[in-house]
Structure 1
């Protein structure tokens, strides 16, 4: 599971595919979780979660 901002969503998708070799799910975080969750690549507020 990778939390990411809009800027890093493509990177997160690429990494998930490389690691698991299947298409990942891309889901938008709820508004409450967006405020408390940070992007794993830059520290900005996360908007999406990429998971398998």
Structure 2
């Protein structure tokens, strides 16, 4: 099951804490790349989401 919380820079710590509290798992933290163009807002305020806290790997590749 996919578990995701999106957050702005200000609320990323809340998202990490909430993920661990809710799912009892260590989350992955991925920064939204400018090329992804998501139009999602932070789950704690109305600012643009910058981080994806989830249990799925990032679709971006390194190297």
TM-score range for the pair, normalised by the shorter chain length: 0.7 to 0.9
* Aligned CA-pair RMSD: 0.9
Count residues with an aligned counterpart.
50
Q: TM-score when scaled to structure 2?
A: 0.73
Highest relative contact order (Cα 8 Å, sep 6+), 1 or 2? 1
CA distance in 2 between partners of 1:4 and 1:29 (Å): 10
Greater helix share, 1 or 2? 1
**Structure label with greater radius of gyration:** 2
For structure 2, the 5+ residue unaligned runs are 56-63
